Structure 1
Amino acid sequence: MRASNALLLDILTEMAFGDDPLDRIILIAIAEANVAAVASDPDLSCRYSTLGAPPPDEMRQPVSVSAVAAKTGMAFETIRRRIRQLAEKGLCEVDASGVRVPTRVVARVENDAALMEICGLTRALYLQLRNNGCLGELVDRSIPPFAGTPPVRTVVRLAFSHFLRMMAGLVRAIGDLTTALILLATLRENAEHTADLPSAVVSPGLMPDALKVPASTATIAAMLELSEATVGRRLTRLVREGRCLRRKGGVIVAAAYVQRPEIMALLEFNYTSLLRLFEPLRQPGILAAWEAERER
């Protein structure tokens, strides 16, 4: 969870569109729903797998506002208001059939750079988890490494699906999306000094409070592009509820909170979601290609 937590937050910061994390989550949810038919069809997924081959508008199925609200865990009125604002900025289109992110937005140069970065982060997460023995043996040695044009869009579609599953899981376990993002950012800062260490070296189980580096309000606010006032109010409530602890220099997420049943269930859900992210990359030889790079 410590490793994959970083991917979730990096996806938010790498996205080239949207003024804040909630807008970006909404755009990811819309875009992912628009190409669900492509992602579920092996032939179409292969046809539209590379950076230079975004699915055209006729392949993008509109999605309802209520479906976006359900997928993100946000209130319907919040989603409707934000989608209207995003449409005014030209980032999505709304009509009677629903909402979609058009190809002209998806294919922007700055978006290509973001997709390349997210693909690289997904690969790095896979290799980090493999180095830590977290995923078991996913690679089929009989499958040759993928050798064609990198299927960036295929990898990113799977990463976005994992991202949205985890956002929904976080809302269920924590209560609301903004608080969930603040807890994720706090956890990342608490454990960032151990990011390159094997999990077994850090601790045999959950990271104890004594090993965590406190996160300041300003650092969390900057990471999430939220106001310090908003983050400060949420952190005060989290401390009052016992979910976080005050320490010199900031706050830490309490180990006692991570041990609660709903959070432990979230850790299990994260593991299952990671398998759903990486397993589809086995048969095309993408994992084998990553493994070959790892061994070089």
Structure 2
Amino acid sequence: MLTWLLRDLPPLNIFEGSQKGRGVVDLLMPQLIASLPEYQHELARVNRARGMQMLRDPSFTCDPALIWSKERAQWIVFSITSFRVLSNGLAIRRADREQLTRFIHDGKVDLHGLLESGKELIGVVAERSYGQQLDSLLQQVPPEQIRAHYGNDALGSLLQMQRLGRLQLLLGYWPEIRYQAEQQGIAPEDLEFYPIEGISQYQEIHVGCSDTPQGRQAIAKIDQALLKLREERLVELYAAWLDPGMRDQYRADARAYFQGLRDH
């Protein structure tokens, strides 16, 4: 039995609301499962911390939406890139903009300088990778400045903490934050989102399986399926979630990236 780990991660997986089941990975899953007809499949809804624990176990477990990291690669076997997403950034309440102005340059936030000032609390989802650059930056931050949430509705809980003024900064993907804010009754226009200085514009998403003989065998077949899906199907599924003015640039960047990769 191959267990697929799914997290509530709009716009990749969507568990609640009007777009339930219409996320990028939600729509990819039937095709991934069809590429592995020799296995029985089950879908398990987990939070990030529980999912990581299951991937560490010597089980037959896969996650369809992982960011590669050097640490994870010690116990997870990764697929080729399936698609790219706009990188994590910083969400703040519009009402808090004034006190952060000196850290915002050309529409991007100097997160290193902001956190080094030592005044602000930043909310993160526990055990989530935000990409190697941001993970490295967060490791330099005093633990008392970080609010890591472990729950099933971690981002929703962090948004409520931010709304109540219990933390100022929230790290995440803007489409996810915007969607979860609406689920929490928070108007997205009351939030502002800033890319982070020095961080790549895009992050690569991979399928990852427990590094076992079965997991490695599954990834070899998943790679073949992704080669057929990623340049057209997956690019369009993710582009549909972007603001209309960003879609053409995303499509062009994604296709140029994948054509440069060829078969990996």
Q: TM-score, normalised by structure 2?
A: 0.26
Q: Which has the higher strand share?
A: 2
Q: TM-score, normalised by structure 1?
A: 0.24
Structure showing greater radius of gyration is: 1
Greater RCO structure (CA 8 Å; 6+ sep): 2
Q: Which has the higher helix share?
A: 1
